[in-house]
Amino acid sequence: MISFRSNPSPAAAPPQEYAWVTSYQKLLPHWHSVSLSHQHSTLPISIARVNQFDAARLDIEMSAMLKEQLVKVFSLMKPGMLFQYEPELDAFLEFLIWRFSIWVDKPTPGNGLMNLRYRDERAMETRGKVRTGLEGPGLTVAQKMWYCLATVGGQYIWARLQSFSAFRRWGDSEQRPLARRAWGLMQRIEGLYKAASFGNLLIFLYTGRYRNLIERALRARLVYESPNMNRAVSFEYMNRQLVWNEFSEMLLLLLPLLNSSTVKSFLHPFSKDKSSSSTEDDSTCPICRASPTLAYLALPCQHRYCYYCLRTRCAATPSFQCSRCNEPVVAMQRHGTVVEHKTHSH
């Protein structure tokens, strides 16, 4: 029979006196290589693309709110005067936002709500140990100045150039060759910029870095300001805004297609009863709400109308119904005269 019980091993010999020193010398080179690799490696971080887009949208909304409040200040001035200086007004508001946010190393209003800040990505290439991946200095003075020139000065110059060229009609064929050449050059520049912006958008959707060409040129990347802070915008408010925008656009599309008289006749049974209509002032025309200068009666209900109001309604709608009692109008009669059928318009 085979026994699985092993024989007791002899007592282990004690380790040598300097065995730990030998083990330490063997492991020291490996420890140095691991520590150096950790020091020079950067942690991969992912900034949500929707947060960056939301921050840009919030900055636009903030500028629009400031512009609306500033326009109200000049509401008592001559109408149309502020419209002439709209590019200067937009540039002034953009400069104020830049001056009190990026210039003083603070995030813009949209970036602050999304817990984002600008980081100089060039300094991260030579930076040492990284702990969270969100470290890094802010923008340098040169980057801030170039950012202001591109966003504030560039947009203002381009807006003024477009308005001036449109006012001078550079694109007309009757203009001088130099003006037509300048107009063509502007169109090419605008086309190249849009194509480059579209390419940058595709790259941004793939990598999550640099949402526009200015940030890519300056190497100004948006990173989280605090690793433990959530976004400060309520999804409920955003959903309400989206629903209201879609509803208002639907109304603007459908309202021109609706006939007011048809809608009124459709809603009339759900409004006051007919007995209450007798208490209304019968001396005014129910269409124009004025006293008829040439009063005509709608038959058979005999409610008074202006001749022009009743004639145009009967000519436009063969099955026109009285606005007071909702009965079909088959004829019209002047006060004290014979009946005139609406079909005999002449």
DSSP assignment of 16-84: PTTHHHHHHHHHHHHHHHHHHHHHH--------HHHHHHHHHHHHHHHHHHHHHHHHHTTTS-TTHHHH
136 Ramachandran zone, left/alpha/beta (phi>0; psi -120 to 50): left
By the 10 Å C-beta count (0-12 exposed, 13-18 middle, 19+ buried), 307 is classed as: middle
pTM of the shown model: 0.56
265, 327 contact by CB (below 8 A): no
Burial 122-140, CB ≥16 within 10 A → b, else e: eebeeeeebeeebbbebbe
Q: How far apart are CA 301 and CA 326, in angstroms?
A: 9
Mean pLDDT of 285-307: 83
Q: How far apart are CA 251 and CA 245, in angstroms?
A: 10
Beta carbons within 10 angstroms of residue 172's beta carbon: 10
- What residue spans of the chain are helical by DSSP H? 19-40, 49-73, 81-84, 86-99, 109-113, 121-124, 141-148, 155-168, 177-207, 213-218, 235-254, 260-267, 274-277, 307-316
Q: How far apart are CA 255 and CA 164, in angstroms?
A: 37
**Unique residue bearing structure tokens 């400069």:** 95
Confidence bin at 2 (pLDDT 50/70/90):
very low
Q: Which has more pLDDT, 54 or 228? A: 54
pLDDT tens digits for 89-99? Answer: 899 999 999 99
Residue 260: the pLDDT is 61
pLDDT for residue 18 is more than 60: yes
Question: Backbone phi, then psi, for 334, in 5-degree steps?
Answer: -80, 155
- Out of 39-48, 51-60, 161-170, least confident range: 39-48
